[in-house]
Every structure is written in structure tokens, then in C-alpha cells.
Amino acid sequence: MQSGISASQSLHDAFAAFTSDPSLFCLPVTIESEALVPLDAVRFSGGHLHGDNDDDGDYFASSLPSLAPHLQEKRPIYLLVRPSPTASALLTAVTYVPSTSPVRAKTLFASTRQSLTRTLGLERFGDSLFVTDAFEARAALRDLADGELVQLGLDLANERLVLLLRATLTPDQVQAKVPTDRPTYNVYRYTGSDAGVLFIYVCPGVSKVKERMMYASSRNGVIETAKAEGVAVAKRLELDADDITADRLAEEAGVVASSNNKTGSAGARGAAGGGSSGGAGFARPKRPGRR
């Protein structure tokens, strides 16, 4: 290999087992002692598999959160992902290289990504992605004002975060600004001294598999970028565009405000920000009326 990194025998064995077992969703691969080595494979979420293609998207979407433990702030990794639970599905090779990784690690993982797929067999792969948390659009986050919506999206061709919209909106105006044909990250500061910032991830069902993968694997990086710019994300939500109503926003902001009032505005803001970066993924709160 050009980088001097070679595939270990354990990787070849693990990859053979992975490709022959359609219940396996992802095979993580890392570099240790100048060799490519496998980590434990991740299974598709769900109790059983379906042969019906209509269910493939559900399996993929429900399994994405299981990748979160592998997306660490300073550790690059390769994720060999099966987009559907079928033995014939072409794999997607994801290279995750955070901007905060050590320089040598960045270089090794970036220079070895193509060699990895060539070694394992290009015919096995249908697509490849390069994911990084080196995002732009920081200024919009830094200057987020009361009642302001900052909407971010991914430029897949250039692999970077872009600003889609920045506007001051009342809660009943937000829903109309959220696309229903592509994923988006929506950062909204609810007006009010005690209300916090809501981070709303929207991924419509019509989104392409590549979009889902990129947006799901990058959202923690977006939140870390927001935090670095002084935005204390008090609550993370994953909603359909139709759910982003004025009442829903008021309810979510009200929960935040109530929590802040119990512990003190400044202290709770810091605690909420810290709590959102830990934990496992996004909360999907109950709809209004289901108390």
C-alpha cells in the first residue's frame, strides 16, 4: 500500500464473515501497529430480517444510531456499512477523520482509504464517503439571536457543512422553512430569557441512503461545532417536518425553561450543554398530548 499500511489476516477473515452474514450492518476497521485490523461487527437493529425491500430503509435508519460509539472526537475510523440486510447488497466504505485527530492519524487514514477497498475487493463496494467535523457556517451559530433559525445542510459533493438559511422567525413560521425532501440540521433559539437552544435534526423518509448516512454520522460533529461557537444546545430532537409546530416548539422550550428555573439559569445552561454531548444519540420526545 502507498501509506505502508497493510491489511491483517484478521481483517480478511472478519470481512469474509461480514460479507457472508446479511444480519451484520457494519464492520468497523482501524489502524493498529501499522496494520488494518477489524473491530467487532455491528448487527442490524431489529429482531428478525425481512426479504421485502420495503423494509430495508427502516432497518438502515434504525441501525444508524448503533454507529455513534465509533464516532469519537479525536479517533479516525473506517466503517464498512451494508445499506440493506441482503447478502448481495453493495457496501459503502465510510472514512471518518475528525479535524481534531492527531496529524499523523489524519494522514494515515486519508491515504489508506482507497487501498482498503482495493485490498478487500472493489467489486464489493458501491460507494465511499469521507466524513469530517471540520465544518463551516460557524459565524451563523456564533451570532445566534433570540427567535433566530440557523438551518444547516451538507454539501455532499464537497463534503462540508453549508448554511442553508438564517432568519428571525416566530415559532409558527419555522415549519414552513424546513424542507421535506432532504435532511437538515435546524438550530433555533426560542425567544425568552429562560428558553434554551433547540437542535432539531430532520431526515425525511424520501432522503437517499447516502444522505442519511452522512447526516446521521455528522450530527454530533455539528453540535460540537455549535458548542465551540458558544451555543449551549439545551435539547436535541429528531422530528419530522410536520411535527415542528408552534405548540411543539413551545412545549420543548418550556421543558428546557422549567429545568433551568430549578437549577439556576447559568448553571443549568452549562449542565444542559454538557449533558447533550454525552448520552446515546437523540431523544425522540413524546408528541403533545401524550403526557
Helix (H) / strand (E) element for 150: namely strand 148-155
- Phi and psi (nearest 5°) for 84? -150, 155
Residues of the chain with pLDDT under 50: 1, 47-48, 50-55, 134-136, 193, 262-291
Q: Are 147 and 169 in contact (CB under 8 A)?
A: yes
Provide the terminal-to-terminal Cα distance of the chain, rounded to the nearest Å. 58
The angle subtended at Cα 116 by Cα 111 and Cα 120, nearest 5°, is 165
Q: What is the pLDDT of residue 85?
A: 87
Q: Are 36 and 4 in contact (CB under 8 A)?
A: no
Domains assigned to the chain: 6-131 (3.40.20.10), 138-277 (3.40.20.10)
One-letter amino acid at 4 equals G
Q: What is the pLDDT of residue 48?
A: 44
HSE-CB at 272 with a 13 A cutoff on CA atoms is 28
- Would you call 200 helix, strand, or coil by DSSP? strand
**Residue 85 to residue 104: CA distance in whole angstroms:** 35
HSE-CB at 85 with a 13 A cutoff on CA atoms is 23
Helix (H) / strand (E) element for 36: namely strand 35-38
Q: Please name the residues in contact with 195: beta carbons below 8 A apart, sequence gap of 6 or more.
A: 189, 253, 254, 256, 257
Report the candidate in 80, 79, 76 with the shortest Cα–Cα distance to residue 101. Answer: 76
Report the candidate in 231, 239, 237 with the shortest Cα–Cα distance to residue 273. Answer: 231
**Sheet order of strands, 233-238 included:** 160-168, 148-155, 184-189, 197-202, 233-238
Report the candidate in 191, 177, 176, 179 with the shortest Cα–Cα distance to residue 146. Answer: 191
Q: What is the pLDDT of residue 3?
A: 63
Q: What is the pLDDT of residue 282?
A: 44
**Residue 186 to residue 255: CA distance in whole angstroms:** 18
One-letter amino acid at 77 equals I
3-state DSSP: the chain helix, strand, coil percent, rounded to 5?
40, 25, 35
Q: What is the pLDDT of residue 69?
A: 83
pLDDT digits (tens, 9 = 90+) for 24-59: 999 999 999 889 999 999 999 864 454 444 445 566
pTM above 0.85, yes or no: no
Q: What is the pLDDT of residue 161?
A: 81
Q: What is the pLDDT of residue 126?
A: 83
**Residue 11 to residue 49: CA distance in whole angstroms:** 25
